[in-house]
A and B are shown apart, each in its own frame.
Chain A
Amino acid sequence: MATATIAAVPGRGPRVPVISMIGFALIWAFLILFVLYPLTRIFYDAFTNEAGQFTLINFQEFFTDRYYLRSLWNSLVLGVAAVVTTSVIGIAVAFLIVRYDFPYRNLFAYLTMLPMILPPLVGVLGFVFILGRAGTVNVWLMDWLHMAHPINFMYGMQGVLLVETVHLFPLMTLSILDAMSKVDPSLEEAAQGMGAKGWRRFWDVTLPLTTPGYVSGALLVFIWTFADFVTPLVVGVQDLLAVQAYLNIVQFVDRRIFRMGIVISALLVLLAIAFVLVARHYVAIKDYSSLAYSKVERRRLGPVKRWLAVGFLVALLFVSAIPQVGVLLAAVGKGWALTPFPVHYTLDYFRQVSIETPKFIINSLMFSGLAVLICLVVGVPMAWIMSRTQTPGRGAMDALTTLILAIPGTAIGIAYIRAFHYPLPGIDLALTSTWFVLPLVLAVRRLPYTVRGSFSSLLLVHKSMEEAAENVGATKLRTFRDITVPLVWKGILVGALFSFIMSIQEASATLFLTLGGWEMIPVGIFTYYIAGSHGQAASLGVILIVLCAVSLGIVNRVAGTRVGGLFG
């Protein structure tokens, strides 16, 4: 592909067919209606008082409140800490898997992705079952070593960081993996030829070349941690910004506190814009695309290093497996408390949540499937517009996409209720009264994964390949179909996979919008957890983990055989 000749015929200039124009307009209409309009509701609330008059007093209250300021500081520190921990682990894993051969490499490649699919709430619950004050480890310590007080692994910032690190490092690995495998080996060979070896070559050549992937990964991790409220809540940490936003919003009785929740959400959105701008500035200034798309040579590791690599991955997987084991035990254990493992076992919980009430599973598959469809229809053209055209407003489009990631789900849920609770024109029914609002809100919330996945792949495919096709007479649409898509489909697939897995795990936005009969698995987990039915919640968690693991496995297989063993 690198040998595609550049045609000598001068270009005829970009033609803009009507169909592209309509598509472009439709995408913007979608974004304005389903992202910008609901968001304006939050900002409207943040800048007004109960009487609806403009005021800045809400922000004044925030910035003079020591508790809120401490929450802001803690959130920033936690976000940075999570980026550091996931970077160290994520880069190490990506590097090992792309570059080296060692026993069971393919299996490890798959297993190290699994922590990503830990559903919210269930992941942290699983950790608490094993590492909590009455968890397996502490019960052992107290029973065997006669320790008077349990060790506090979970309740505090350390617990949140542990959960976020284990949950999110695969996000980092996947973001870098795609970019790293496309780095032209000749660049590294050149570095080697000039005397740069080992770490030096890695720092000076390999790592900078994977920057687009890394920055998007880091941004995802930072923003995810920044916006996560479920994990801190379970371990009793409340002085974080997202937690304050959630807690203030979900108590509706005290209107003052409720409004402060909206204000904090607005602030989260504003901060997210800032992060996105900084990150974009960093990625946009360099051209990382490469004409080469060659298979990466994998080196065999020496015996000692080989076992070190395997040892590292096994240790990592051991820690990552803690929540899964905890959830599985809770799903089959009855009345489990203060014993290392459950004393009584039952399959009742599984029967209840699958056979007796199959709606959770059915709704999840249907709504997430629809959401991914919407993501693909809207997201892939968006990525293409942003990376390939000079259309005005594409910068705004990109910022908007990333911004969506940062908005707390609860805020989106509230925004949708406020914005779409009016009867639609033509039919006497509000959007929030139809189940279609669920796939819609999922698609909007998970759109960035599809867009980012497609975008970073497009960035790495040099434009001259498409220009060559256009120069020999292919239309833009034809070029897109015959040249671009075959080159970037893996990125699109990974993006769509992210969108699907994240959709099927979404609970925060849907929690506010779900009406009787529409419950997806995560909302089911939430309602069972709220009702204190931990067994049923854990069973649904196990089902969700299995669903995600299977879909991850399928994609792993498909992508793996087609692109020369990149993923397995």
Chain B
Amino acid sequence: MIRLIKLLGVALVSLFATGAQAAAQAIENELVLITPVARTLTDPTLADFAKYAKEKWNITVKTSSLAAGTPVAYGRIVEWKGRPDADIFWGGESALFDKLAEQNLLAKLNLPKAVMDAIPASIGKPKPIPLKDPKGFWTGTVLEPYGLVYHPKLLARLGVPEPKDWDDLLHPKLKGNVAQCAPTRSSSSHATYEVILQRDGDEKGWAWLKRLAGNTGIFTARSRDVPSVVARGEFAAGFAVPSYMAFEDRLAGYELKFVAPKTAWITPEPIGVIAGTRHPRAARAFIEYLLSERGQRVAMERGVFPITPKYRVQGKPGSQAEMAVEFTGGVRSYFDLDVVNIYDDNIAQKRYEAVNQQYRKEIESVAEQLKK
């Protein structure tokens, strides 16, 4: 009899427990990202978010991320046609987020006003870089420049000084030692091509890019392969973005360095909720977490910079945060600097396919001749 009562009691308690849980379910217990951002940034933020959700709502969130290059991620979201298998798209160029919003494939963020107001509308002169969407479909999360990576030891072997600006890649001794990803294959590489074209104008810009092709030893399949082949010393230098794994190689023990030329474009690493998601509340909670001080601190230890002037990258000597500062040349916050931006994303997006066509015709199909 006592056993029966006990059993009944257990049954009742568990009944109430599940009922109570369902009622207090502030967010769903699952969250999936699709993102070009490296695991070194996504894994720790997701792990810390899960901890945060447990503390705040006592909910165990199962988190995961689908690693995909920006174009692949964009393509999959388009192919999903509003029945997505992921909840959040994070990273890449904000113009793609605008494109998705136009196709009704993003849901409005609807974040608290205080959170959004902490993020300035734009950064940089003379062409301001938007840091959030006025229509509310995406917001920036962290700042990072599209710059250069190089292998100091290999450069020393070749007798080439460490690069400071784009033009240093044209050093004659770097012949066959530059790695780059074609602009037709990578949106970040495309953006860097545009920086050169908008800096020098069409004629001089293309001549510059052809000279770069002459120095190029490998065209990689993805932009992330560039830091990867440079880290191993297979090639000496190339274009790269820190959180698309350049910093990861540094953390993995490779002697790799990064420099952002003065005219480097800075991406706000946009984030948006995919329309039709099965976990809308978890998705919004994650974005809000990422913009909070706690989320920004986790990100700042991974080689990227805060999206608001409220925080600066700072850590104990020898910490990962300080390593990141050293890796990116001593910058602690982009709001401390006068950011020079000459890249106009609207111009770039309008002629996206035309630039690709021209690249295919004038560089890709004659790459062997350019190398001579």
B partners with A: yes
Least Cβ–Cβ distance between A38 and chain B, in angstroms: 14
Interface 1/0 per residue, A237-270 and B, CB below 8 Å: 0100000000100111110111000000000000
Q: Are A66 and B365 in contact (CB under 8 A)?
A: yes
Q: Which one of A155, A254, A430, A433 has the highest number of Cβ atoms from chain B below 10 Å of its Cβ?
A: A254
Instruction: Say yes or no for A516: interface residue by CB 8 A criterion.
Output: yes
Nearest chain B residue, comparing its CB with the CB of A142: B157
**In the complex, what distance in Å separates the CA atom of A433 from the CA atom of B39?**
23
**In the complex, what distance in Å separates the CA atom of A257 from the CA atom of B359?**
13
Q: Contacts A133-B235, A253-B352, A531-B39 known; A338 to B79 CB distance under 8 Å?
A: no
Interface 1/0 per residue, B349-365 and A, CB below 8 Å: 00011001000100011
Nearest chain B residue, comparing its CB with the CB of A432: B85
Q: Which residues of B contact A336 (CB under 8 A)?
A: 232
Within 8 A of B (CB), among A493-515: 512, 514-515
Within 8 A of A (CB), among B68-86: 69-72, 74-76, 78-81, 83, 85-86
Instruction: Say yes or no for B184: interface residue by CB 8 A criterion.
Output: yes
Instruction: Say yes or no for B298: interface residue by CB 8 A criterion.
Output: no
Least Cβ–Cβ distance between B247 and chain A, in angstroms: 9
Interface 1/0 per residue, B19-56 and A, CB below 8 Å: 00000000000001000001110000000000000000
Within 8 A of A (CB), among B156-183: 157, 176
Q: Are B252 and A251 in contact (CB under 8 A)?
A: no
Q: Which one of A253, A334, A417 has the highest number of Cβ atoms from chain B below 10 Å of its Cβ?
A: A253
Q: Which residues of B contact A133 (CB under 8 A)?
A: 217, 233-235
Instruction: Say yes or no for A344: interface residue by CB 8 A criterion.
Output: yes
Q: Which residues of B contact A155 (CB under 8 A)?
A: 217-218
Q: Name B227's contact: one of A253, A532, A535 (CB within 8 Å).
A: A532
**In the complex, what distance in Å separates the CA atom of A529 from the CA atom of B228?**
9
Q: Are B66 and A515 in contact (CB under 8 A)?
A: yes
Q: Are A418 and B79 in contact (CB under 8 A)?
A: yes
Least Cβ–Cβ distance between B308 and chain A, in angstroms: 27
Q: Are A254 and B234 in contact (CB under 8 A)?
A: no
Q: Which residues of A contact B32 (CB under 8 A)?
A: 515-516
Interface 1/0 per residue, B210-230 and A, CB below 8 Å: 000000011111101001100
Q: Are B232 and A337 in contact (CB under 8 A)?
A: yes
Q: Are B252 and A236 in contact (CB under 8 A)?
A: no
Least Cβ–Cβ distance between B12 and chain A, in angstroms: 33
Within 8 A of B (CB), among A256-307: 256-258
Instruction: Say yes or no for A517: interface residue by CB 8 A criterion.
Output: yes
Least Cβ–Cβ distance between A305 and chain B, in angstroms: 42
**In the complex, what distance in Å separates the CA atom of A67 from the CA atom of B32?**
39
Least Cβ–Cβ distance between B246 and chain A, in angstroms: 8
Q: Are A252 and B39 in contact (CB under 8 A)?
A: no
Question: Between A and B, how many residue pairs show CB distances below 8 Å?
Answer: 138
Q: Are A256 and B255 in contact (CB under 8 A)?
A: no
**In the complex, what distance in Å separates the CA atom of A170 from the CA atom of B45?**
45
Instruction: Say yes or no for A335: interface residue by CB 8 A criterion.
Output: yes
Q: Are B252 and A531 in contact (CB under 8 A)?
A: no
Q: B interface, how many residues as a size bin?
A: 35 or more
Q: Are B245 and A417 in contact (CB under 8 A)?
A: no
Q: Name A252's contact: one of B38, B72, B81, B227 (CB within 8 Å).
A: B72
**In the complex, what distance in Å separates the CA atom of A253 from the CA atom of B187?**
8
Nearest chain B residue, comparing its CB with the CB of A257: B184
Q: Contacts A517-B64, A531-B39 known; A253 to B74 CB distance under 8 Å?
A: yes
Instruction: Say yes or no for A355: interface residue by CB 8 A criterion.
Output: no
Least Cβ–Cβ distance between B363 and chain A, in angstroms: 11
Q: Name B83's contact: one of A252, A430, A531 (CB within 8 Å).
A: A430
**In the complex, what distance in Å separates the CA atom of A546 from the CA atom of B67?**
26
Least Cβ–Cβ distance between B243 and chain A, in angstroms: 11
Nearest chain B residue, comparing its CB with the CB of A526: B67
Least Cβ–Cβ distance between B250 and chain A, in angstroms: 9
Q: Contacts A67-B360, A334-B252, A421-B83 known; A251 to B67 CB distance under 8 Å?
A: no
Least Cβ–Cβ distance between B103 and chain A, in angstroms: 12
Nearest chain B residue, comparing its CB with the CB of A338: B233
Least Cβ–Cβ distance between A363 and chain B, in angstroms: 13
**In the complex, what distance in Å separates the CA atom of A532 from the CA atom of B248?**
7
Q: Are A253 and B252 in contact (CB under 8 A)?
A: no
Q: Which residues of A contact B246 (CB under 8 A)?
A: 532
Q: Name A516's contact: one of B65, B252, B356 (CB within 8 Å).
A: B65
Q: Which residues of A contact B176 (CB under 8 A)?
A: 149
Least Cβ–Cβ distance between A351 and chain B, in angstroms: 15
Nearest chain B residue, comparing its CB with the CB of A532: B245
Instruction: Say yes or no for A534: interface residue by CB 8 A criterion.
Output: yes
Q: Name B151's contact: one of A238, A337, A433, A531 (CB within 8 Å).
A: A337
Q: Which one of A233, A251, A527 has the highest number of Cβ atoms from chain B below 10 Å of its Cβ?
A: A251
Q: Contacts A67-B365, A252-B72, A254-B356 known; A238 to B83 CB distance under 8 Å?
A: no
Q: Are A254 and B67 in contact (CB under 8 A)?
A: no
Least Cβ–Cβ distance between B192 and chain A, in angstroms: 15
Least Cβ–Cβ distance between A187 and chain B, in angstroms: 50
Instruction: Say yes or no for B231: interface residue by CB 8 A criterion.
Output: yes
Instruction: Say yes or no for A530: interface residue by CB 8 A criterion.
Output: yes
**In the complex, what distance in Å separates the CA atom of A498 from the CA atom of B4?**
57
Instruction: Say yes or no for A533: interface residue by CB 8 A criterion.
Output: yes
Least Cβ–Cβ distance between B133 and chain A, in angstroms: 19
Q: Are B234 and A134 in contact (CB under 8 A)?
A: yes
**In the complex, what distance in Å separates the CA atom of A535 from the CA atom of B228?**
12
Instruction: Say yes or no for B154: interface residue by CB 8 A criterion.
Output: yes
Q: Are B153 and A532 in contact (CB under 8 A)?
A: no
Instruction: Say yes or no for A128: interface residue by CB 8 A criterion.
Output: yes
Q: Which one of B248, B253, B360 has the highest number of Cβ atoms from chain A below 10 Å of its Cβ?
A: B253
Q: Name B219's contact: one of A149, A236, A516, A531 (CB within 8 Å).
A: A236
Q: Are A252 and B78 in contact (CB under 8 A)?
A: yes
Q: Which one of B184, B252, B364 has the highest number of Cβ atoms from chain A below 10 Å of its Cβ?
A: B252
Instruction: Say yes or no for A123: interface residue by CB 8 A criterion.
Output: no
Q: Are A530 and B184 in contact (CB under 8 A)?
A: no
Q: Are B233 and A531 in contact (CB under 8 A)?
A: no
Q: Are B75 and A527 in contact (CB under 8 A)?
A: no
Q: Name B221's contact: one of A247, A532, A533, A535 (CB within 8 Å).
A: A247
Instruction: Say yes or no for B312: interface residue by CB 8 A criterion.
Output: no
Instruction: Say yes or no for B209: interface residue by CB 8 A criterion.
Output: no
Instruction: Say yes or no for B185: interface residue by CB 8 A criterion.
Output: yes
Interface 1/0 per residue, A423-452 and B, CB below 8 Å: 000000010110000000000000000000
Instruction: Say yes or no for B119: interface residue by CB 8 A criterion.
Output: no
Q: Which residues of B contact A258 (CB under 8 A)?
A: 75
Instruction: Say yes or no for A213: interface residue by CB 8 A criterion.
Output: no
8 contacts between A and B (CB under 8 A): A133-B235, A134-B232, A252-B72, A252-B75, A338-B151, A417-B76, A531-B245, A532-B227
Nearest 9 pairs between A and B by C-beta?
Answer: A252-B75, A335-B253, A516-B64, A134-B233, A532-B245, A236-B218, A338-B233, A337-B233, A67-B365
Known: A236-B218, A338-B154. 15 other contacts (CB 8 A): A67-B364, A70-B365, A134-B154, A250-B72, A254-B352, A335-B252, A336-B232, A515-B32, A515-B66, A515-B85, A516-B64, A529-B228, A530-B69, A532-B245, A532-B246
